[in-house]
Structure 1
Amino acid sequence: MTNSKKAIFFGLVTVGIWSTVASAFKIALTELDPFQLLLIACTTSIVALAGIMAFQGTLHQLFAMPRREMLRSALLGILNPFLYYIILFKAYDLLPAQEAQPINYTWAITLSLLSIPLLGQKMSSKDLGAICLSYFGIVVISTHGNPFSLEFSNLTGVGLALASTVIWAVYWIFNTRSTAEPLAGLLLGFLCAFPLILVTTLCVSELPTVSTKAALAALYVGIFEMGITFALWLTAMKYAATPDGGGTARIANLIFLSPFLSLIFIHFLVGEEILPATVAGLGFIVAGNCLMQYKKSATK
């Protein structure tokens, strides 16, 4: 198998897994609150990430990091997984999965907006058009196809879903300055966030006791959403970056398949009837993301 085919294979596997996690969130949240879900998922992801690094023979990187990078990774752990997933899970708790998932998908647009004050980047008219297009899609989805009524299905849930995109974008902006190995930095962040997650859960909730179905969904979130997919995506990008890999842009574009595939899983696994407004709104969001991506490619 050529590096190009390997890159596509690992990219498609990652996108396929990402497409299922919104359904796993909703299944787990039928019995768990956001804090309990995060506690189980974070514990599982720590084991998964440590296992991957042990298998790769790179676990020593965790202890070889400069102190400055250790501190950076620890502080980033407050953003992800602690704040990001508590807010995201609460948004999924309040909203149907078909609403929360597309709104969360606008994190790339939020990243572009925050890059202006944080990274000194400039906004073009095409950027503004892409942003307006994506956020109009959010309004279409959140108002169930009546965007000019401004009657949102759950304004708090929509606000939390949008807030999660801000935290995720800030996390990645500051993460780009890290020189640590990606998996090692991620694992250290999760390890440092775990005590905070545990104490918060004990203070505002309680240790979870759930059915097998909800427990498996929470474990799935930890293994795949917060663990294995990160390593798979890095592998896809590594193969794509080789001379015969076809380029990382081609693999990055596979992510546009994820939100539409996710709606199929949400329908069959969660049982939600997918509204036409959801598909239409998601179309606006993806169009905005594509426009932003095209602009960056043209600039390069």
Structure 2
Amino acid sequence: MSEKSQSRAFVLGLSAVLLWSTVATAFKLSLQQMSPLQLLAWAGLFSTGVLAAGVSWQQKWRELATQWRQRPLFYLGLGALNPALYYLVLFRAYDLLPAQQAQALNYTWALTLALLAVPLLKQKLQRVDLLAMLLGYGGALVIATRGNLLTLEFDSVPGVALALFSTLIWALYWILNARAEGSPAVSLLLCFLCGTPLVWGLMLWQGESMLPSWQGLLGAAYVGLFEMGLTFMLWLGAMRAATHVSRISNLIFLSPFLSLVFIYFLLDEPVAPATFIGLGLIVLAVVWQQRAARSEPAPAAE
């Protein structure tokens, strides 16, 4: 169905947000059963299957073959970034940090995107960008230190560094992905077809290829379906069905706060007040930056 329907878009968008809100908890539970590398390898398989089903449903295998013939090195590079490097770094951050910290720090990727756009897209940072970054990364510091800003004590310095590094990888991936000529589902499947074998090769080389427990496989299936695969299709469907895209896209700001609810009840992880404060600052910074960008006059057509 290609008809516009705001109510249908809202249902699809809210479903995607609810599912994305559970993945931080799923990461943490799955990492109790397997290593970050094992989780990524198995989740990548499940996600590739879901994305392949989506491309089949859209009847776009011919487009996929064309895109691969035209730009194999481009998609190999994208696949090395996502899923391979990005999720490996992110899962390791979750392995080292409380879930509430890892998911909140990862949410600063939108701010990192603005920073990377300066050298890669030759964009200039506006005053609002700098203020938003100051606010957002200040929120990240509040979360990472649990509000103890003066002592600068972290639960895990490597974990914080990896969580922030993951935002750099994710932002770089999306800047490069904007140059992909295929449809979103085709481009993402090509990335997973290129990246997942790299992860399996690394896992075999590291000697971690033993079959995980059924709990681990269940967790990997959940991550593959709802973090990397099906949820992407739901969100894409919501964007296509929406008559007011901005109203649907704003739903994404519910995700980090809903995620804290699942973390509290399913992981039995007490949520520190500093997490709410820091996350509020990050979301405020992202919303402020995005609204300022939308209010800028469009560039003249060349």
From 131, 134, 158, the equivalent of 2:133 is 131
* Aligned partners of 2:33 and 2:215 also within 8 Å: no
Question: Once structures 1 and 2 are overlaid, which stretch shifts more, 206-215 or 33-42?
Answer: 206-215
Could you tell me how far apart the structure 1 residues matched to 2:24 and 2:253 are?
Answer: 15
Could you tell me how far apart the structure 1 residues matched to 2:81 and 2:270 are?
Answer: 33
Question: Once structures 1 and 2 are overlaid, which stretch shifts more, 157-166 or 274-283?
Answer: 274-283
1:292 paired with 2:294, answer no
Could you tell me how far apart the structure 1 residues matched to 2:197 and 2:216 are?
Answer: 23
1:73 paired with 2:70, answer no
Matched residue, 1:280: 277
Question: What is the 5 A alignment of 1:57-136?
Answer: 57-65=59-67, 67-136=69-138
| Counterpart AA for 2:155 | S
Map Cα deviations across residues 38-89 of structure 1 (whole Å, 9 max, x no partner).
0100011111111122223223322132633343222200000000000000
From 247, 250, 258, the equivalent of 2:247 is 250
Q: CA deviation at 1:249?
A: 1.7
* Aligned partners of 1:127 and 1:292 also within 8 Å: yes
Could you tell me how far apart the structure 1 residues matched to 2:254 and 2:144 are?
Answer: 21
Task: Identify unmatched segments of 5+ residues in structure 1.
Answer: none
Q: CA deviation at 1:2?
A: 5.9
Number of aligned residue pairs: 295
Q: CA deviation at 1:205?
A: 4.0
| Counterpart AA for 2:272 | L
Q: Are residues 46 and 66 of structure 1, via their aligned partners in 2, closer, same or farther at CA, if it must alter by over 3 Å?
A: closer
Could you tell me how far apart the structure 1 residues matched to 2:141 and 2:288 are?
Answer: 19
Question: Once structures 1 and 2 are overlaid, which stretch shifts more, 97-106 or 113-122?
Answer: 113-122
Map Cα deviations across residues 207-253 of structure 1 (whole Å, 9 max, x no partner).
2433333221111001111111111111111112xxxx12x222221
Question: What is the 5 A alignment of 1:105-254?
Answer: 105-240=107-242, 245-246=243-244, 248-254=245-251
Could you tell me how far apart the structure 2 residues matched to 1:91 and 1:118 are?
Answer: 26
Q: TM-score, normalised by structure 2?
A: 0.94
Could you tell me how far apart the structure 1 residues matched to 2:127 and 2:167 are?
Answer: 22
Could you tell me how far apart the structure 1 residues matched to 2:234 and 2:171 are?
Answer: 21
| Counterpart AA for 1:258 | S
Map Cα deviations across residues 151-209 of structure 1 (whole Å, 9 max, x no partner).
11111000000000000000000110111121111111111112211111112241243
Question: Once structures 1 and 2 are overlaid, which stretch shifts more, 67-76 or 270-279?
Answer: 67-76
Q: Aligned-pair RMSD on alpha carbons?
A: 1.4
| Counterpart AA for 1:54 | S
Could you tell me how far apart the structure 2 residues matched to 1:203 and 1:117 are?
Answer: 35
Paired-residue identity, %: 49
| Counterpart AA for 1:64 | T
Task: Identify unmatched segments of 5+ residues in structure 2.
Answer: 298-302
Q: CA deviation at 1:256?
A: 0.5
Matched residue, 2:261: 264
Could you tell me how far apart the structure 2 residues matched to 1:174 and 1:67 are?
Answer: 18
